[in-house]
Structure 1
Amino acid sequence: MQRTAPLAERPAPLFVVSDIDGTFLNSKERVSPRLRNVVANMKRQGTVFSLATGRPARWLLPVLEQLVVKPLCVCANGAVIYDSARDKIIRAVELQPAVLTDTVARLASDVTANQEEPALEGVTFGVERVGTSAFDRADELFCVTRSYDHAWLSEEHKEMSLEELVAQPAVKLLVRNPRVCSQELYEAVAPRLNSQHVNVTFSWDGGLVEISAPGVSKQSALQWIAEQMGVTGEDAVAFGDMPNDLEMLTWAGVGVAMGNAHDDVKNAADIITGDNDNDGVAEILETWFL
């Protein structure tokens, strides 16, 4: 850890938020008994808990069924807030068709073929649209171009032309190139886009960049939740492992990077804990909630 003494001196946080993959879940996609116990203790003590993820709401169900709480969840890297207790999307910030069309045009292979950028050669695209529930039909929300190379096994999606893909609003645009790592793809994508029009990040290493509306991040959604609670970032502890967690870690009073985190995340965090297979989240939270 980078610092340990101040934790014991701090009062118990009023708000705790954790990324899911590589952070809250272990490599078997399970919540450990130790962590589940800490979350239960937080609930008893009145601390509010949230999950913040790049996942859509429908991908939260296997996680939520392992918990004793039904939290407000930040989905799609902050573009969506999902109330799991009511199974209801309560807030969504979308990319509009004009922005989607312009973004794709700046990145599509036929436009960039002569720009000496191998990472963009042959990129394909997908979108996540927002519904009203975690039980909405996935093939109405997850849409991809016909040549899209799926990062995860998917049978619940709809294939369509690029023109159809960008014709409706979406909470997230996916840029996919499995031949490069996500860092390399990000470094090719981000300079071609205007940060006033979109926000670019990534949450997985295997050649996938995620694009949201400007100003959208996990922090922006958590700040909205905190305002409803009457607390601030200083009252929060946040856990993460990838660049899409950076804003929320620097916003929180204590930002914690996992031992398995991306180097940029470790450099930005206040504390580095154990990895996700060794209860790194529980290790910190037991300071207050043992």
Structure 2
Amino acid sequence: MSPWLVALDIDGTLVHYDQTMSDAVLAAVRDVAAAGHHVVLSSGRSLVAMTPVAELIGLKTGWMVCSNGAVTVRLDPEVQGGWEVTDTLTFDPEPALRLLSEHLPGARFAVEDVGTGFRLNELFPDGELDGEHRVVTLEELWDDEVTRIVVRSPEATSDDFHELVQRLGFDDVTYAVGWTAWMDIAPKGVSKATGLETVRERLGVPSERTLALGDGHNDVEMLRWAARGVAMGHAEEAVKAAADEVTGTVEDDGAAQVLRTLL
């Protein structure tokens, strides 16, 4: 049988909220990869936060879709570091940062430096962002085009973020609200689905042999893109509505339940 492209979200899907992966899920991912399927990690995480997960699983070759689709990476043990960035989609962060800093006083902002870390106007709490962190002025955050803006505002709820974006009219970017107090802003039209479609074409996998598994609002486009989109059991209703089926929760090793169906 020809292989499937298996797109896997990380946080809340493969990895528990304490950043651990169960033995059942780890074994299932490894077995799917060993069976010849194309396991593609697809996450809102930055590249530097995804490579440890790839190492844990044992993925030395293949592809990763990082930063909600703005960065596509080819894994290759023959190149320095074990990976190379093949695609980066960027945008001008200045208009969004100016508006958000005006309407969210006290918010913390970060822009991603692909492969190294982040520039920030103020340090984030420990463990929330990986890689090197360099504190700079707001003006230095928008010096150059970037792949992503991260917004952290402890006083804001998810609904507050959605309402603010609608009111400010962010028509030239794509945004995804994570948990409370967190929002990612990406280039217009960019999502995990757009990055995965690029990977699918390069691998030559038929669209009908694509599976995606996720739990967050930033997974909705990916779940709709896949021929078989599977939402985690703890996902919100809007995420489940975008999927073809629903599996168990992350605590129930729902990812392993789905992956075993490919073996």
- Please report the TM-score for the alignment, with normalisation by the length of structure 2: 0.89
- List structure 1 segments (4+ residues) > 6 angstroms apart after TM superposition: none
Q: Map of 1:1-290 to 2, 5 A cutoff?
A: 14-70=4-60, 71-85=62-76, 86-96=82-92, 100-109=93-102, 112=103, 120-131=104-115, 136=116, 138=117, 142-146=118-122, 149-150=124-125, 152=127, 156-195=132-171, 197-203=172-178, 205-289=179-263
Contact 1:129 1:169 (8 Å CA) reproduced:
no
Contact 1:186 1:209 (8 Å CA) reproduced:
no
Contact 1:13 1:236 (8 Å CA) reproduced:
no
Q: Distance in 1 between matches of 2:106 and 2:165?
A: 13
Q: Distance in 2 between matches of 1:206 and 1:235?
A: 34
Residues 67-98 of structure 1: CA deviation (Å, up to 9, x unaligned): 132331111000001223332111111113xx
Q: Distance in 2 between matches of 1:284 and 1:32?
A: 15
What displacement does 1:12 show? 7.9
What displacement does 1:55 show? 0.8
Q: Distance in 2 between matches of 1:271 and 1:13?
A: 21
Residues 27-60 of structure 1: CA deviation (Å, up to 9, x unaligned): 3323322222222332233211100011111112
Unpaired segments ≥5 residues, structure 2 = 77-81
**Which letter maps to 2:99?**
R
- Please report the TM-score for the alignment, with normalisation by the length of structure 1: 0.81
**Which letter maps to 2:95?**
D
What displacement does 1:277 show? 1.8
Unpaired segments ≥5 residues, structure 1 = 1-10, 113-119
**What's the % identity of the aligned pairs?**
32
Contact 1:50 1:72 (8 Å CA) reproduced:
yes
Contact 2:96 2:170 (8 Å CA) reproduced:
no
Contact 1:78 1:216 (8 Å CA) reproduced:
yes
Q: Distance in 2 between matches of 1:77 and 1:19?
A: 10
Q: Distance in 1 between matches of 2:209 and 2:226?
A: 7
Q: Distance in 2 between matches of 1:101 and 1:36?
A: 41
Q: Distance in 1 between matches of 2:100 and 2:139?
A: 14
Q: Distance in 2 between matches of 1:162 and 1:28?
A: 32
Q: Distance in 2 between matches of 1:94 and 1:257?
A: 29
After superposition, the Cα gap between the structure-2 partners of 1:262 and 1:88, relative to the gap in structure 1 and judged at 3 Å, is same
How many residue pairs end up in the alignment? 256
What displacement does 1:26 show? 2.3
Contact 1:149 1:178 (8 Å CA) reproduced:
no
Q: Distance in 1 between matches of 2:258 and 2:2?
A: 11
Contact 2:161 2:177 (8 Å CA) reproduced:
no
Q: Distance in 2 between matches of 1:245 and 1:211?
A: 14
Contact 2:3 2:36 (8 Å CA) reproduced:
no
What displacement does 1:244 show? 0.6
Q: Distance in 2 between matches of 1:152 and 1:186?
A: 25
Residues 96-150 of structure 1: CA deviation (Å, up to 9, x unaligned): 3xxx1111222222xx4xxxxxxx343332111224xxxx4x3xxx01113x654
Contact 1:238 1:254 (8 Å CA) reproduced:
yes
**Alpha-carbon RMSD:** 2.2
Q: Distance in 2 between matches of 1:268 and 1:43?
A: 26
Contact 1:125 1:173 (8 Å CA) reproduced:
yes
